[in-house]
Homo-oligomer: A and B are copies of this chain.
Amino acid sequence: MGTTGQLSAVPEPKYWHLRTVLLRAIDSEFSTGQVLPNERELSARFGVARATLRQALDQLELEGRLVRRRGIGTLIAAPRVGVPVSRQEEGWPGAARSQAWRTIDCTTAPASAQLAKSLGIAEGATVHTVRRVRLVEGRAVAGESLHVPAAALPHLPGFRAESDRARSVLRQLERLEVDGESRSVELGVAEAEQAALLERPPGAPVLVMTTQYASAGRLVALAVSTYRADTCKLTFGEAGLVEVTPVGATAEVRTAS
């Protein structure tokens, strides 16, 4: 990062130009885990206010290139982890034997209007909700709420201790023949609860994946999973293909040159 600034008078915002300069520096002169100079020094070096520099860092953090830790510094982030999200790889919904997910708790309560609508059941009908965390290499990368209408699990054993109920729900679910699933992915932000689970501050960007599971033509489960957008790359699809490597530093792909 030898340059002393060189923010030419372009019609492009300073913070965006800064981001580009920093990105080049990251790609060429730094490696994963290294710490950047602190914000006050960087802003001085580039001749901008600290707030402007921070705007550039915000972008790079959104792209998953930087990690900022209070009290520590700004580090070069590791490349995003590819997280498989197809059914065969992560094990069908609960799959008590799934190693990817760790159950937190299970509640049974009447469905809110909104949840009822999403599940296609009557408002107030009983729904089991299992909350889980997905771990990759010991780190929490996703939180999930799995909603199952009680009516979908006619053979669920009677009342039990909570930890047992979670297991029962997942086990019963596993026995169903799942003949269809439908997913959607969109951008969201982590609210307090999820943020705590993912060890991130509130407002951290997440990829929200909503999955509907059908059995015998009926909706039997709705999973809402929030994946850390900074560290995760959701991977779908059949195995056996070449490992996906990103093309172009970020979203941009230039013509082969």
Contact = CB atoms under 8 A, between A and B. Distances in A.
Per assembly, the copies of the chain total: 2
A98 interface: no
Contact of A248 (B114, B182, B232, B241): B114
A125 to B, nearest CB: 9
A188 B63 contact: yes
B185 A236 contact: yes
A86 B12 CA distance: 37
A234 interface: yes
A62 interface: yes
A216 to B, nearest CB: 13
A177 interface: no
Interface in A234-254: 234-242, 244-248, 250-254
A82 B184 contact: yes
A131 to B, nearest CB: 8
A145 interface: yes
Interface residues of A, number: 78
Contacts of A103: none
A203 B252 contact: no
Contact of A233 (B185, B190, B233, B237): B185
Interface stretch (A30-38, A168-176, A219-227): A219-227
A241 B205 contact: no
A145 B180 contact: no
A161 interface: no
The 8 closest A-B CB pairs, nearest first, are: A188-B251, A182-B237, A186-B233, A182-B241, A191-B252, A145-B253, A187-B229, A183-B236
